[in-house]
Amino acid sequence: MAKHLARDLEGLQRQILTLAGRVEEAVYNATQALQKRDAALAQEVIAGDAAVDVQENLIQEECLKIIALHQPVAVDLRRIAAVFSITTDLERIGDLAVDIAERAAALVAFPRPAIPENYLRLTDFVTSMVRQALDSFVHLDSKQARRVIRLDEEADRLHAEVIAELIAAMKADPGAVEPGVSLFSAARHLERIGDHATNIAEDVVYLVEGEMVRHRPEAMSLRGSGVVGGPADRPAR
């Protein structure tokens, strides 16, 4: 029985890593489509969402099947619970990548808008959070996961700065309102992707340490030190 459970857990790991790679690529392509005004790339991201949805369903069905068949306990049960939860967050990140791609497609109709410098910083920062969260899951590294959780406040700060810049630009130039609204929405979607990366990191802490840190800031304040910086500090993957 233990051998069959190990085999099924290995298969589950392969499936979620495939989904993670697909979603990470969707986020990258969506942000590139917006920055480069690439309508074809935006449509590619949108078209790829159906495959993400199908894969999410397959993984979650496999989780339930393993629980029913093997009745796992302790760390094996935590792993399945974490995979189930992480899969949901990955699917939602995929949806947000589609939302950004749709904003990118809409922007093509306008003269090239000025993209705030902080928007590019927010993009790099959030995509780094996603990569680091997934790295922490692959390597079962709860210390790295805790660093990702602490990065969420910086992502929120960058998002607020982008919104302030966009509002100022729209007030100064009525012609900037329509493209500004699309950039406003895209920035909000990026911030939400950062939230889901944080959720994934919280699941990794639970998987490795057995501690629930979601909605418990005091659990984070008791461990670790300081906030690690942005994309320049991320480990390569």
Q: What is the pLDDT of residues 18-30, one digit of tens each?
A: 999 999 999 999 9
Q: How many other C-beta atoms lie within 10 A of the C-beta of residue 163?
A: 18
In the block, residue with structure tokens 């996961």: 145
Residue 107 predicted with pLDDT over 50 = yes
The residue whose two tokens read 């094996």 is 76
Considering only residues 173 and 232, tell me which one the structure prediction assigns the higher pLDDT.
Answer: 173
The residue among 142, 144, 138, 147 whose CA lies nearest residue 208 is 142
pLDDT > 70 in the chain, percent: 90
195: which residues sit within 8 A by CB, 6+ positions away?
152
Q: Is 189 helix (H, G, I), strand (E, B) or coil?
A: helix
51 pLDDT higher than 90 = yes
Angle, CA 194 vertex, CA 139 and CA 156 arms, to 5°: 135
Q: At residue 9, does pLDDT exceed 90?
A: yes
Half-sphere exposure of residue 80: CA atoms within 13 angstroms, side-chain side: 21
What is the C-alpha to C-alpha distance for residues 167 and 72, in angstroms, rounded to an integer? 52
Please state the rounded mean pLDDT for residues 99-114.
89
Instruction: State both tokens at 106.
Output: 């809409």
The answer on pLDDT for 184 being more than 60 is yes
The arithmetic mean of pLDDT across residues 131-159, rounded, is 96
**What's the pLDDT at 195?**
97
Q: What average pLDDT is seen over the chain?
A: 90
Q: Cβ distance 68 to 16 under 8 Å?
A: no
As a whole number of angstroms, the longest Cα–Cα distance in the chain is 68
| H-run or E-run covering 187 | helix 177-209
User: How many whole angstroms separate alpha carbon 208 and alpha carbon 223?
Assistant: 15
Top pLDDT among 231 and 144 is at 144
- The confidence band for 230, taking pLDDT boundaries of 50, 70 and 90, is very low
Residue type present at position 6: A
Sign of CA dihedral 121, 104, 25, 208: positive
Q: Is the domain 2-233 a CATH 1.20.58.220 member? A: yes
193 versus 178: the higher-pLDDT residue is 193
pLDDT at 85 over 80: yes
Per-residue pLDDT tens over the stretch 61-77: 999 999 999 999 999 99
Averaged pLDDT for residues 99-128: 90
At residue 219, the pLDDT reads: 59
Per-residue confidence at 112, pLDDT binned at 50, 70, 90? Answer: confident
Segments making up each domain of the chain, as ranges: 2-233
